[in-house]
Protein backbone atom coordinates (compact mmCIF):
# COMPACT_ATOMS: atom_id res chain seq x y z
CA UNK A 1 0.00 0.00 0.00
CA UNK A 2 1.85 3.07 -1.24
CA UNK A 3 1.35 6.60 0.17
CA UNK A 4 -0.49 7.70 -2.98
CA UNK A 5 -2.84 4.73 -2.90
CA UNK A 6 -3.53 5.19 0.82
CA UNK A 7 -4.48 8.83 0.29
CA UNK A 8 -6.62 8.01 -2.76
CA UNK A 9 -8.55 5.48 -0.67
CA UNK A 10 -9.14 8.07 2.05
CA UNK A 11 -10.45 10.61 -0.47
CA UNK A 12 -12.73 8.17 -2.28
CA UNK A 13 -14.35 7.12 1.02
CA UNK A 14 -15.71 10.65 1.34
CA UNK A 15 -19.07 10.90 -0.41
CA UNK A 16 -18.35 14.19 -2.16
CA UNK A 17 -21.06 14.21 -4.84
CA UNK A 18 -21.05 17.67 -6.41
CA UNK A 19 -21.15 20.24 -4.89
CA UNK A 20 -20.39 18.48 -1.61
CA UNK A 21 -16.79 18.15 -0.42
CA UNK A 22 -17.38 15.92 2.63
CA UNK A 23 -14.06 16.69 4.27
CA UNK A 24 -11.73 16.05 1.31
CA UNK A 25 -10.36 19.58 1.31
CA UNK A 26 -9.79 19.62 5.07
CA UNK A 27 -7.72 16.46 4.72
CA UNK A 28 -5.68 17.98 1.90
CA UNK A 29 -5.11 21.26 3.73
CA UNK A 30 -3.94 19.43 6.85
CA UNK A 31 -1.33 17.57 4.79
CA UNK A 32 -0.25 20.75 2.98
CA UNK A 33 0.07 22.78 6.19
CA UNK A 34 2.42 20.11 7.54
CA UNK A 35 4.89 20.86 4.73
CA UNK A 36 4.78 24.62 4.97
CA UNK A 37 1.76 25.72 2.92
CA UNK A 38 -0.48 28.61 3.95
CA UNK A 39 -4.12 27.63 3.45
CA UNK A 40 -6.97 29.96 2.57
CA UNK A 41 -10.54 28.67 2.56
CA UNK A 42 -12.69 30.37 -0.06
CA UNK A 43 -16.37 29.45 0.16
CA UNK A 44 -18.78 30.94 -2.36
CA UNK A 45 -22.47 30.20 -1.67
CA UNK A 46 -22.71 26.40 -1.30
CA UNK A 47 -19.27 25.64 -2.75
CA UNK A 48 -16.08 24.90 -0.81
CA UNK A 49 -12.78 25.92 -2.39
CA UNK A 50 -9.30 26.50 -1.12
CA UNK A 51 -6.12 28.22 -2.22
CA UNK A 52 -2.88 27.06 -0.65
CA UNK A 53 0.59 28.40 -1.32
CA UNK A 54 4.17 27.65 -0.28
CA UNK A 55 6.58 30.47 -1.07
CA UNK A 56 6.11 34.07 -2.09
CA UNK A 57 8.31 34.43 -5.16
CA UNK A 58 7.84 33.46 -8.77
CA UNK A 59 7.52 31.39 -10.77
CA UNK A 60 4.30 30.09 -9.26
CA UNK A 61 3.46 26.50 -10.21
CA UNK A 62 -0.12 25.54 -9.34
CA UNK A 63 -1.83 22.17 -9.04
CA UNK A 64 -5.54 22.59 -9.85
CA UNK A 65 -8.30 20.07 -9.36
CA UNK A 66 -11.64 19.19 -7.83
CA UNK A 67 -12.83 17.08 -4.93
CA UNK A 68 -16.42 16.71 -6.17
CA UNK A 69 -17.52 13.68 -8.18
CA UNK A 70 -20.51 12.95 -10.40
CA UNK A 71 -23.47 10.97 -8.99
CA UNK A 72 -23.02 7.23 -8.95
CA UNK A 73 -26.31 6.19 -10.51
CA UNK A 74 -27.98 3.14 -8.89
CA UNK A 75 -25.37 1.77 -6.49
CA UNK A 76 -26.77 -1.73 -7.00
CA UNK A 77 -25.24 -1.64 -10.47
CA UNK A 78 -21.73 -1.34 -9.06
CA UNK A 79 -19.67 -4.49 -8.50
CA UNK A 80 -18.17 -2.79 -5.44
CA UNK A 81 -19.85 0.03 -3.46
CA UNK A 82 -18.69 3.28 -5.08
CA UNK A 83 -17.64 4.94 -1.82
CA UNK A 84 -16.05 1.80 -0.33
CA UNK A 85 -12.90 1.75 -2.47
CA UNK A 86 -11.13 -1.51 -3.09
CA UNK A 87 -8.05 -2.65 -4.97
CA UNK A 88 -8.97 -5.63 -7.13
CA UNK A 89 -6.36 -7.23 -9.40
CA UNK A 90 -4.24 -4.09 -9.21
CA UNK A 91 -7.11 -1.74 -10.07
CA UNK A 92 -8.44 0.87 -7.65
CA UNK A 93 -12.26 0.86 -7.83
CA UNK A 94 -14.48 3.69 -6.59
CA UNK A 95 -16.20 6.88 -7.65
CA UNK A 96 -13.51 9.45 -8.36
CA UNK A 97 -10.65 6.96 -8.72
CA UNK A 98 -9.87 8.38 -12.15
CA UNK A 99 -11.76 11.69 -12.01
CA UNK A 100 -10.03 12.95 -10.05
CA UNK A 101 -9.21 11.83 -6.53
CA UNK A 102 -6.39 9.65 -7.83
CA UNK A 103 -4.75 12.74 -9.30
CA UNK A 104 -5.27 14.72 -6.09
CA UNK A 105 -3.50 11.99 -4.11
CA UNK A 106 -0.64 11.94 -6.63
CA UNK A 107 -0.39 15.75 -6.51
CA UNK A 108 -0.08 15.77 -2.75
CA UNK A 109 2.39 12.92 -2.32
CA UNK A 110 4.54 14.30 -5.14
CA UNK A 111 4.56 17.70 -3.42
CA UNK A 112 5.44 16.20 -0.04
CA UNK A 113 8.30 14.23 -1.59
CA UNK A 114 9.59 17.27 -3.48
CA UNK A 115 9.49 19.60 -0.48
CA UNK A 116 11.29 17.04 1.68
CA UNK A 117 14.09 16.82 -0.88
CA UNK A 118 14.10 20.52 -1.83
CA UNK A 119 12.95 22.54 1.20
CA UNK A 120 14.56 25.69 -0.25
CA UNK A 121 13.16 25.34 -3.75
CA UNK A 122 12.82 28.24 -6.14
CA UNK A 123 9.54 30.06 -6.68
CA UNK A 124 6.25 28.91 -5.19
CA UNK A 125 3.91 25.93 -5.29
CA UNK A 126 0.16 26.40 -4.98
CA UNK A 127 -3.06 24.40 -4.91
CA UNK A 128 -6.39 25.61 -6.32
CA UNK A 129 -9.04 23.08 -5.34
CA UNK A 130 -12.82 23.28 -5.77
CA UNK A 131 -15.91 21.17 -5.18
CA UNK A 132 -17.79 22.73 -8.10
CA UNK A 133 -16.16 21.30 -11.24
CA UNK A 134 -18.70 18.56 -11.97
CA UNK A 135 -21.66 20.85 -11.42
CA UNK A 136 -22.54 24.31 -12.72
CA UNK A 137 -18.94 25.53 -12.17
CA UNK A 138 -20.23 28.98 -11.14
CA UNK A 139 -18.81 29.24 -7.62
CA UNK A 140 -15.62 27.25 -7.91
CA UNK A 141 -12.42 27.80 -9.85
CA UNK A 142 -13.79 30.82 -11.69
CA UNK A 143 -14.46 32.65 -8.39
CA UNK A 144 -11.09 31.71 -6.93
CA UNK A 145 -9.34 33.02 -10.05
CA UNK A 146 -11.32 36.27 -9.77
CA UNK A 147 -10.14 36.58 -6.15
CA UNK A 148 -6.51 36.02 -7.15
CA UNK A 149 -6.75 38.46 -10.05
CA UNK A 150 -8.25 41.15 -7.80
CA UNK A 151 -5.13 41.07 -5.63
CA UNK A 152 -2.78 40.60 -8.61
CA UNK A 153 -1.64 37.14 -7.53
CA UNK A 154 -0.59 35.46 -10.78
CA UNK A 155 -0.29 31.78 -11.61
CA UNK A 156 2.60 31.24 -14.03
CA UNK A 157 2.12 27.52 -14.72
CA UNK A 158 -0.83 25.27 -13.88
CA UNK A 159 -1.12 21.49 -13.92
CA UNK A 160 -4.77 20.36 -13.97
CA UNK A 161 -5.20 16.77 -12.83
CA UNK A 162 -7.93 15.79 -15.29
CA UNK A 163 -7.62 12.22 -16.61
CA UNK A 164 -5.85 12.97 -19.89
CA UNK A 165 -4.27 9.60 -20.68
CA UNK A 166 -5.80 7.32 -23.30
CA UNK A 167 -4.20 3.86 -23.15
CA UNK A 168 -1.07 4.28 -21.02
CA UNK A 169 -0.45 6.78 -18.25
CA UNK A 170 1.24 9.85 -19.69
CA UNK A 171 0.59 8.94 -23.33
CA UNK A 172 -1.47 12.12 -23.79
CA UNK A 173 -1.21 15.60 -22.29
CA UNK A 174 -3.96 18.11 -22.98
CA UNK A 175 -2.22 21.39 -23.76
CA UNK A 176 -5.41 23.19 -24.74
CA UNK A 177 -9.15 22.85 -25.08
CA UNK A 178 -11.73 23.94 -27.59
CA UNK A 179 -14.19 26.65 -26.67
CA UNK A 180 -17.79 25.73 -25.85
CA UNK A 181 -20.69 27.90 -26.98
CA UNK A 182 -24.22 26.69 -26.33
CA UNK A 183 -27.60 28.07 -27.29
CA UNK A 184 -31.32 27.56 -26.77
CA UNK A 185 -33.22 28.54 -29.91
CA UNK A 186 -36.98 29.08 -29.76
CA UNK A 187 -38.75 29.30 -33.10
CA UNK A 188 -42.23 30.78 -32.91
CA UNK A 189 -45.20 29.71 -34.99
CA UNK A 190 -48.95 29.52 -34.54
CA UNK A 191 -50.69 26.57 -32.94
CA UNK A 192 -53.55 24.98 -34.80
CA UNK A 193 -55.32 21.84 -35.98
CA UNK A 194 -53.36 19.54 -38.28
CA UNK A 195 -56.40 19.35 -40.58
CA UNK A 196 -56.33 23.14 -41.09
CA UNK A 197 -52.65 23.98 -41.69
CA UNK A 198 -53.56 27.18 -43.54
CA UNK A 199 -54.82 28.57 -40.22
CA UNK A 200 -51.59 27.76 -38.38
CA UNK A 201 -47.83 28.14 -38.81
CA UNK A 202 -45.72 25.09 -38.03
CA UNK A 203 -42.36 26.13 -36.53
CA UNK A 204 -40.95 22.64 -37.09
CA UNK A 205 -41.49 23.02 -40.83
CA UNK A 206 -40.15 26.59 -40.99
CA UNK A 207 -37.06 25.78 -38.91
CA UNK A 208 -36.09 22.52 -40.64
CA UNK A 209 -34.27 24.10 -43.65
CA UNK A 210 -32.35 26.48 -41.39
CA UNK A 211 -31.30 23.66 -39.05
CA UNK A 212 -30.20 21.59 -42.02
CA UNK A 213 -28.06 24.47 -43.26
CA UNK A 214 -26.51 24.99 -39.82
CA UNK A 215 -25.70 21.27 -39.59
CA UNK A 216 -24.09 21.30 -43.04
CA UNK A 217 -22.19 24.57 -42.59
CA UNK A 218 -18.39 24.43 -42.81
CA UNK A 219 -17.36 26.72 -39.98
CA UNK A 220 -13.57 26.59 -40.31
CA UNK A 221 -10.62 24.34 -41.18
CA UNK A 222 -9.20 24.14 -37.67
CA UNK A 223 -5.43 24.53 -37.40
CA UNK A 224 -2.29 22.67 -36.35
CA UNK A 225 -3.55 22.39 -32.78
CA UNK A 226 -7.35 22.20 -33.09
CA UNK A 227 -9.79 20.20 -35.22
CA UNK A 228 -12.42 22.04 -37.25
CA UNK A 229 -15.23 23.67 -35.29
CA UNK A 230 -18.23 21.39 -34.82
CA UNK A 231 -21.95 22.16 -34.50
CA UNK A 232 -24.20 19.62 -32.79
CA UNK A 233 -27.90 19.66 -31.96
CA UNK A 234 -28.45 17.94 -28.63
CA UNK A 235 -32.22 18.33 -28.19
CA UNK A 236 -35.33 19.27 -30.17
CA UNK A 237 -38.72 19.66 -28.57
CA UNK A 238 -42.15 20.76 -29.85
CA UNK A 239 -45.78 19.82 -29.59
CA UNK A 240 -48.43 19.33 -26.95
CA UNK A 241 -48.34 15.54 -26.96
CA UNK A 242 -51.48 15.34 -29.07
CA UNK A 243 -51.21 13.94 -32.60
CA UNK A 244 -53.64 16.40 -34.14
CA UNK A 245 -52.13 19.72 -32.96
CA UNK A 246 -49.63 21.81 -34.90
CA UNK A 247 -47.18 23.16 -32.30
CA UNK A 248 -46.86 26.84 -31.61
CA UNK A 249 -43.20 26.75 -30.68
CA UNK A 250 -40.09 24.69 -31.37
CA UNK A 251 -37.16 24.61 -28.94
CA UNK A 252 -33.72 23.54 -30.19
CA UNK A 253 -30.65 23.11 -27.97
CA UNK A 254 -27.30 23.10 -29.75
CA UNK A 255 -23.59 23.53 -29.06
CA UNK A 256 -20.44 24.64 -30.83
CA UNK A 257 -17.03 23.27 -29.90
CA UNK A 258 -14.79 25.80 -31.56
CA UNK A 259 -11.15 26.38 -32.30
CA UNK A 260 -8.99 29.47 -32.01
CA UNK A 261 -9.81 30.22 -35.66
CA UNK A 262 -13.15 31.71 -34.60
CA UNK A 263 -14.61 33.76 -31.79
CA UNK A 264 -17.91 33.23 -30.02
CA UNK A 265 -19.13 36.54 -31.48
CA UNK A 266 -18.43 35.38 -35.05
CA UNK A 267 -20.28 32.11 -34.45
CA UNK A 268 -23.29 33.97 -33.08
CA UNK A 269 -23.35 36.36 -36.02
CA UNK A 270 -23.07 33.61 -38.63
CA UNK A 271 -25.74 31.52 -36.92
CA UNK A 272 -28.22 34.36 -36.68
CA UNK A 273 -27.54 35.34 -40.30
CA UNK A 274 -28.63 31.85 -41.38
CA UNK A 275 -31.74 31.98 -39.19
CA UNK A 276 -32.61 35.42 -40.55
CA UNK A 277 -32.08 34.28 -44.15
CA UNK A 278 -34.82 31.68 -43.65
CA UNK A 279 -37.20 34.27 -42.26
CA UNK A 280 -37.69 32.61 -38.90
CA UNK A 281 -39.49 34.23 -36.00
CA UNK A 282 -37.22 33.34 -33.13
CA UNK A 283 -35.37 34.28 -30.01
CA UNK A 284 -32.07 32.76 -28.96
CA UNK A 285 -30.29 32.49 -25.64
CA UNK A 286 -26.51 32.09 -25.86
CA UNK A 287 -24.22 30.62 -23.20
CA UNK A 288 -20.44 30.79 -23.53
CA UNK A 289 -19.07 28.27 -21.05
CA UNK A 290 -15.44 28.42 -22.12
CA UNK A 291 -13.07 30.13 -24.52
CA UNK A 292 -10.52 28.01 -26.40
CA UNK A 293 -7.05 28.05 -24.92
CA UNK A 294 -3.66 26.71 -25.96
CA UNK A 295 -0.25 26.29 -24.34
CA UNK A 296 1.76 25.30 -27.39
CA UNK A 297 5.26 25.68 -25.95
CA UNK A 298 7.16 26.82 -22.88
CA UNK A 299 8.67 25.49 -19.65
CA UNK A 300 5.52 23.69 -18.49
CA UNK A 301 4.99 21.67 -21.67
CA UNK A 302 8.73 20.97 -21.87
CA UNK A 303 8.80 19.74 -18.27
CA UNK A 304 5.81 17.42 -18.82
CA UNK A 305 7.29 15.90 -21.98
CA UNK A 306 10.68 15.37 -20.33
CA UNK A 307 9.28 13.98 -17.08
CA UNK A 308 7.00 11.50 -18.85
CA UNK A 309 9.90 10.35 -21.03
CA UNK A 310 12.23 9.89 -18.06
CA UNK A 311 9.69 8.08 -15.86
CA UNK A 312 7.85 5.95 -18.43
CA UNK A 313 10.19 5.85 -21.41
CA UNK A 314 7.42 6.96 -23.76
CA UNK A 315 6.87 10.01 -25.91
CA UNK A 316 3.70 11.88 -25.03
CA UNK A 317 1.19 13.32 -27.47
CA UNK A 318 -0.01 16.89 -27.07
CA UNK A 319 -3.76 17.10 -27.68
CA UNK A 320 -6.64 19.58 -27.50
CA UNK A 321 -9.40 16.97 -27.94
CA UNK A 322 -12.21 16.34 -25.48
CA UNK A 323 -14.54 18.50 -23.46
CA UNK A 324 -13.95 21.51 -21.27
CA UNK A 325 -12.13 21.68 -17.94
CA UNK A 326 -11.48 24.29 -15.29
CA UNK A 327 -8.32 25.15 -17.19
CA UNK A 328 -10.59 27.43 -19.24
CA UNK A 329 -10.84 29.77 -16.25
CA UNK A 330 -7.11 29.84 -15.53
CA UNK A 331 -5.62 30.18 -19.02
CA UNK A 332 -7.14 33.65 -19.73
CA UNK A 333 -5.01 35.09 -16.90
CA UNK A 334 -1.91 34.40 -18.99
CA UNK A 335 -0.91 31.19 -17.23
CA UNK A 336 0.56 28.22 -19.07
CA UNK A 337 -1.99 25.44 -18.53
CA UNK A 338 -1.94 21.72 -19.24
CA UNK A 339 -3.92 18.69 -18.12
CA UNK A 340 -2.11 15.55 -17.06
CA UNK A 341 -3.74 12.66 -15.26
CA UNK A 342 -4.56 8.94 -15.40
CA UNK A 343 -6.36 6.93 -18.07
CA UNK A 344 -9.86 8.28 -18.76
CA UNK A 345 -11.54 5.08 -20.02
CA UNK A 346 -13.99 4.69 -17.09
CA UNK A 347 -14.64 8.26 -15.94
CA UNK A 348 -18.27 9.00 -15.00
CA UNK A 349 -19.11 5.32 -15.54
CA UNK A 350 -20.43 2.62 -13.23
CA UNK A 351 -17.45 0.70 -11.79
CA UNK A 352 -15.02 3.58 -12.34
CA UNK A 353 -11.48 2.35 -11.77
CA UNK A 354 -7.84 3.16 -12.38
CA UNK A 355 -4.56 1.27 -12.12
CA UNK A 356 -3.03 1.64 -8.67
CA UNK A 357 0.42 1.39 -10.25
CA UNK A 358 -0.47 4.23 -12.65
CA UNK A 359 -1.16 6.53 -9.70
CA UNK A 360 2.34 5.88 -8.37
CA UNK A 361 3.77 6.54 -11.84
CA UNK A 362 1.78 9.76 -11.99
CA UNK A 363 3.20 10.77 -8.60
CA UNK A 364 6.73 10.31 -9.95
CA UNK A 365 5.90 12.37 -13.05
CA UNK A 366 4.49 15.25 -10.99
CA UNK A 367 7.49 15.20 -8.65
CA UNK A 368 9.92 15.21 -11.57
CA UNK A 369 8.06 18.14 -13.13
CA UNK A 370 8.45 20.11 -9.90
CA UNK A 371 12.16 19.32 -9.92
CA UNK A 372 12.56 20.49 -13.50
CA UNK A 373 10.63 23.70 -12.81
CA UNK A 374 11.55 24.66 -9.25
CA UNK A 375 14.52 22.70 -7.88
CA UNK A 376 17.29 25.05 -6.76
CA UNK A 377 20.40 24.92 -8.93
Catalytic residue among 133, 134, 162, 364: 133
Coil, helix or strand at residue 5: helix
Residues 289, 182: contact at Cβ < 8 Å?
yes
DSSP annotation of 333 reads G
CA 331, CA 291: separation in Å to the nearest integer? 9
Q: How far is CA 171 from its chain centroid? A: 18
Q: Give the list of residues 6+ apart from residue 141 with CB closer than 8 angstroms, or none.
A: 49, 64, 66, 128, 130, 132, 133, 326, 329, 330
Cβ neighbours of 212 (radius 10 Å): 11
Residues 96, 103: contact at Cβ < 8 Å?
no
Whether residue 315 lies in the annotated active site:
no
Q: How far is CA 115 from its chain centroid? A: 28
Helices 101-117 and 3-12 pack at an angle, to 10 degrees, of: 140
Closest of 81, 80, 111, 88 to residue 7, by C-alpha:
111
CA 71, CA 178: separation in Å to the nearest integer? 26
Query: Half-sphere exposure (CA, 13 Å, Cβ side) for 202?
Result: 14
Closest of 91, 103, 117 to residue 4, by C-alpha:
103
Catalytic residue among 68, 99, 326, 358: 68
User: Strand runs (DSSP E) across 161-316, as ranges?
Assistant: 172-174, 176-177, 179-188, 192-193, 230-238, 245-246, 249-258, 282-290, 293-294
DSSP annotation of 170 reads T
Whether residue 68 lies in the annotated active site:
yes
**Burial class of residue 61 in the structure, from the number of CB atoms within 10 Å of its CB (0-12 exposed, 13-18 middle, 19+ buried):** buried
CA 271, CA 339: separation in Å to the nearest integer? 32
Residue numbers annotated as active site: 68, 133
Amino acid sequence: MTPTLELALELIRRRSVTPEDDGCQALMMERLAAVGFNNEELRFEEVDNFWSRRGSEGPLVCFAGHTDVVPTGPEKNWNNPPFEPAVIDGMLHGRGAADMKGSLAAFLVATENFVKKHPNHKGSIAYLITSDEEGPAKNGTVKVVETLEARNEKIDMCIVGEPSSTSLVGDTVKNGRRGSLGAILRVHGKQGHVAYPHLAENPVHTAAPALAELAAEHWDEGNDFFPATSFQISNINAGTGATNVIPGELEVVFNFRFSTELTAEILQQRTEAILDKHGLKYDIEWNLSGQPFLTDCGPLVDASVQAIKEITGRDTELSTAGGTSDGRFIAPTGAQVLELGPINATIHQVNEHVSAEDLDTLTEIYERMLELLLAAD
